[in-house]
Structure 1
Amino acid sequence: MLRPRILLLTTCYPSCEGDPSGVFIERLAIEFRKKGHHVGVVCPSDGSFFGRRVVNGIDTVRFGYFRPRSFLRLTKGLGGIPENLSQSWLARIQLFPMMFFFLLHTLFEVRRFDIVYANWLGAGIIGAITNMLTGKPMVVSFRGDDGYLARDRVLWRALTLWVSSRAGVVAPVSEELRNVLAAVGIAPAKLRVPRFGVDAELFRPPTSRPNRSDSIQAVFVGALIQKKGLQDLIRALADPSFKHVKLVVLGDGVMRDRLVEECNELGLSDQVEWMGQRPQRDVADIMANSDVLILPSYTEGKPNVVKEAMASGLPVVATRVGGIPELVDDGKTGLLFTPGDVAQLRHCLKQLIDDKDLRSRMSRAALESLRCKALSWEATVEDFEGIFECVLEAARATLRGSRSCRRSM
C-alpha cells in the first residue's frame, strides 16, 4: 500500500545533533518515515546553515531570509516567534521576508508530496496559501500561544479562522486548546486532538534513584523567558526551609542574566545549577537523577517536558494552565497551582519535599497514567495517519465531484 507523502512545515526544527528546538517535530517526522512515508521538511534557518540536507532520512530544507546571518532574530532562540516579535525590532522587520521565502520554498517543494502538515500559525498561513494556489490538502496544528492569542487579538483571530478554513483538519495539542479554537469560531467537526507521544525508551525511571537522605533535587526544563515563570520558582526557593533543595535549570534565554543575578541576591547561588540547553539524552539522564519536575509557566500548550518527567517517574509540580491538567492528575501524579502564586508554589513544594512516600506514590501513578493514556509515538503516528487519510479522501471526493460536474456540463 502506498503511504501518503508528507511535507512538514514548521518554524522550529533542530539544526544539529542535540539542538532541542522543535525536537518533537523532528521525532514525528522520523516516526512517519519508519512507517513508510516519504517525509520532507521546510523550515526557516536559525543562522546555522542554509540549503538542503538529508538528516535521519528526512529531506530537510532550511532557507535564509535575512542578511547578514548574525542579524537573524525572528527564528533564533528558544522563546519562539511570538516572544522574539515582542522583544526585538529586528525580528519584526524580518517577519515579511521570512514568510515570503517560506512560501516560495514550499511552493517549489510541495509538488512532490500528497499532503501538507503545518505546525503553528505562521506555517499554517503558508500551508493555507499553498492550498489556495495548488489545491494540496492541508492539516494544521496549533500548539499553544499561536492558538490562545486568537481569543484576544482581532488580527490573530482572523488569521486563525482563515487558515482553519483552508485546512482539512485542525489538530490542536490539547482538549483545552480545542475548546478555545471552537469558541473563536472553528467548526467543532473540523477539530481533532491527536495523542502526542513521549519516548519511553529514552525517558524511563532509573532502577533506583540516588539516596539523598538530606537533600532533594528539583529540575526545571524550558526557555528562560517571562512566561515560563522561573522567576516565581526562584522566589519560592528563597524560603529558609528549602535550604536542602537543589534546583537544576536546563534551558537558556533572554532572562538568564537577570535570573542568575536574582539568585545571587537571594543567596541561592549554591542551590541553583545553570546547565543551559542540553540534548535530549542529557535531559533524560538528569530527570532520572532528580526527585521532582517544576514547571511554573503562565501559558502552555501540552508540554512535552511534563510527559517526559512522568515517563521518568517524576512527580510534577506545575501551573494549572493549558493542557497541563489533562496530563497531571492533581494530588495523584503531581500538584497544580495558580500561575504567579508564589505562596501556593511553596506549599506544593513543601508537601512533596517533606513526604518521601508521597513522592513514591506519585511516581508510580505517573507511570501508570502514561500507560493508560497510551501516549507513545506509535499512537501519535496512528492518529495522524487516520487524520491524513480522512483529509485525502475528502480531497479525492471533491475532485471526483468536480470532474463529474464538468462532464455533465
Structure 2
Amino acid sequence: MHIGLIGPLPPPFGGMANQTKQLNELLTSEGLKVTLVRTNADYKWHWVTDLKGIRALARLLPYLLELWRVAGNVECMHVMANSGWSWQLYAAPAIWIGWIRKVPVVVNYRGGDAERYFKSSIRWVAPSLNKATVLVVPSMFLFQVFELFGYKAKVIPNIINLERFKFKPHLISNNRSLRLVITRNLEKIYGIDTAIHAVAILNSILIDVKLVIAGSGPLQDELKGLAETLELSHSVEFVGKLEPEEIAKLYYDADIMLNPATVDNMPNSVLEALACGLPVITTNVGGIPFIVKDNESALMVEPNNAQMLADAILKLVNDYDLYNKLAVNGFAVANQYGWCVVKEQWLGLYKELVDAS
C-alpha cells in the first residue's frame, strides 16, 4: 500500500510531531510506501520567517500544491489533526483535497481541548469533518467528545517506543534527595505553577527536593519568576526542550514523574514514564482516567491543588510497596501501546479503506 501521511515533524519535539515521525518510520519498516507531507516544512526563503502574515502564506501555498500532487499518487491519506488554526490551515485542506481526488482520508484527531474548541467552532469544523472517510482518535476520552457532537470515531491509541523507553527499577527513600520531573510544554494548561507550589510545601518537610522541568513555552519567564519568588531557584531546574533520548535518561534518573495538567487527552509523556518504570502522579482530567487507575497504575490528584499534589508525593516517598506497585502496573499499562499491538489496527484499517475504494 501507498500511504500519504500528513503532519508535523520535530523539531520541536512534541506529541503530534513525535507520533508522525514514529508512524512514518514504523509503517515503512512494515513494507508500506509512505509519502510524508510536512505541515511545518522549512520556509523556502529564510527571510520570510520574520514576516508574520507573509510567512503563513509562504508555507501554505507549497503545502497545498504538495497535497494535491501526493493525493494523486497514494491509495490512502492519513491526516494528523488538532484543534484551532492547525485544523483550519492544515487538516481541513488535506481532507478536501483527498475528497476531491477520491482518495480515502483518515483523520487522526488529537488534543485535550477538543470539546471546548468544538463548542465554539463546530460550524467551521463540521463541513470538512463530514468529508473524511473515517475518524480515528487515540483515546476513549476523545471518542466520547466526538459522540457529543454526533460523530462516531474509531479508537487507535498512540504509539510508545518501547525500544527507547525501557523498564528500569527505581528506588526511593525519604532519607535522601528526591528528584521529580515534568516533561510538558510551559503553557497554562499544563499546571506547572501548581507543581512549583507543591515543591515549596515539600521543602519544609523533606531534606532535599529537586524538580526538573523539561519543556519550553510562553510561560518560561513567568514560571522562573515564580520559583525565584518562592525562593526555590536551587530546587527547580528548567532544562529546556529535550530530544526523546534525553527524556528517557531524565526518567531513569528521576524518582517520580508529575503531570499537573488542567487539560489533557492521552499524554505520551505519561505513558513513556510508565514504560521506564517511573511512578507517575497525575491530575484526573480529560483522558487520564481512561489510561491509568488511581492507586493501581498511578496516583491521581485534582488540578490546581498544590497541597494535594504534595501529599501524594509524600505518600509515595513513605510507602515503598505502593511505589513499587505503581511501577510494575504502570509498565503493564505502557506495554499496551507498543507497535506490536497497535500496528495491526492501523494496517487493518488501511487495507479495509483501500479495498473499499
TM-score over 0.5 for the pair: yes
Structure 1 residue 169 displacement after superposition: 1.1
Q: 1:268 to 1:243 in 2, by over 3 A?
A: farther
Matched, 1:71 2:33: no
Q: Secondary structure at the match of 2:97?
A: helix
Aligned residue in 2 for 1:357: 321
Residue 104 (1) aligns with residue 85 (2): no
Given that 1:66 and 1:94 are in contact with CA atoms closer than 8 Å, whether structure 2 keeps it comes out as no
Q: 1:248 to 1:375 in 2, by over 3 A?
A: same
Instruction: Please tell me whether the aligned partners of residues 99 and 132 of structure 2 are also in contact (alpha carbons under 8 angstroms).
Output: no
The aligned counterpart of 1:25 is 20
Q: Give distance in 1, aligned partners of 2:146 and 2:181.
A: 32
Shift of 1:298: 1.4
Q: How does 1:320-335 map to 2 (within 5 A)?
A: 320-335=284-299
1:40 aligns to what SS in structure 2?
strand
Distance 1:102 1:219, change over 3 A: same
Instruction: Provide closer, same or farther for how the CA distance between residues 348 and 125 of structure 1 changes in structure 2, counting only shifts above 3 A.
Output: same
**Which stretches of structure 1, 4 residues or longer, exceed 6 Å deviation after superposition?**
none
Partner of 2:234: 270
Match status 1:120 vs 2:81:
yes
Work out whether residues 318 and 337 of structure 1, in 8 Å CA contact, stay in contact via their aligned partners in 2: yes
User: What does residue 191 of structure 2 align with?
Assistant: 229
Distance 2:169 2:310 in 1: 29
Kept in 2: contact 1:195–1:383 (CA 8 A): no
Q: In structure 2, how many angstroms separate the alpha carbons of the residues matched to 1:319 and 1:101?
A: 41
Question: What code does the residue aligned with 1:227 have?
Answer: I
2-structure distance, mates of 1:219, 1:197? 22
For the 8 Å contact 1:293–1:317, the answer to whether it is kept is: yes
Runs (5+) with no aligned partner, structure 2: none
Q: Deviations over 1:137-167 (max 9, x none)?
A: 10001111463334421xx212332232111
Q: Which amino acid aligns with 1:64?
A: Y
Greater displacement, 251-260 / 26-35: 251-260
Alignment-derived partner of residue 171 in structure 1: 136
Q: Which residue in the other structure is 1:346 paired with?
A: 310
Alignment root-mean-square deviation, CA: 2.3
Matched, 1:181 2:178: no
Among 106, 114, 118, the alignment partner of 1:139 is 106
In structure 2, what residue type is equivalent to 1:341? N
TM-score, normalising length from structure 2? Answer: 0.90
Paired position in structure 2 for 1:80: none
Alignment correspondent of 1:9: 6
Distance 2:189 2:133 in 1: 32
Distance 1:210-1:343 versus aligned 2 partners, 3 A rule: closer
The separation in 2 between residues aligned to 1:146 and 1:126, in whole angstroms, is: 21
> Taking structure 1 as reference, are residues 338 and 94 closer, same or farther at Cα in structure 2, changes over 3 Å only?
farther
Distance 2:61 2:225 in 1: 40
Q: Deviations over 1:55-83 (max 9, x none)?
A: xxxxxxx25388634427xxxxxxxxxxx
* Change over 3 Å in CA distance of 1:205–1:151 after alignment to 2: same
Measured after TM superposition, the shift of residue 350 of structure 1 is: 2.1
Deviation at 1:388, TM superposition (A): 1.5
Structure 1 residues 243, 212: CA separation in 2 closer, same or farther (over 3 Å shift)?
Answer: closer
Question: 1:338 corresponds to which letter in structure 2?
Answer: E
The percent identity for this pair of structures is 23
Which of 382, 386, 405 is the matching residue for 2:348? 386
1:195 to 1:351, Cα distance in 2 relative to 1, 3 A: same
Matched-pair contact (CA < 8 Å) for 1:196–1:377: no
Partner residue, 1:75: none
AA paired with 1:111? Answer: G
SS at match of 2:4: strand
Shift of the alpha carbon at 1:185? Answer: 1.9
Query: How many pairs align?
Result: 347
Shift of 1:5: 0.8
Cα–Cα, structure 1 residues 158 and 279, in superposed 2: closer, same or farther, change >3 Å? same
Which residues of structure 1 form unaligned runs of 5+?
46-61, 73-89, 397-409
| Superimposed CA distance per residue, residues 289-345 of structure 1 (whole angstroms, 9 cap, x where no aligned partner) | 211110111112201111101101111111112221122211111111222222322
Q: Would you say 1:43 and 2:74 are equivalent positions?
A: no
Q: Is the 8 A contact 1:217 1:245 kept in 2?
A: yes
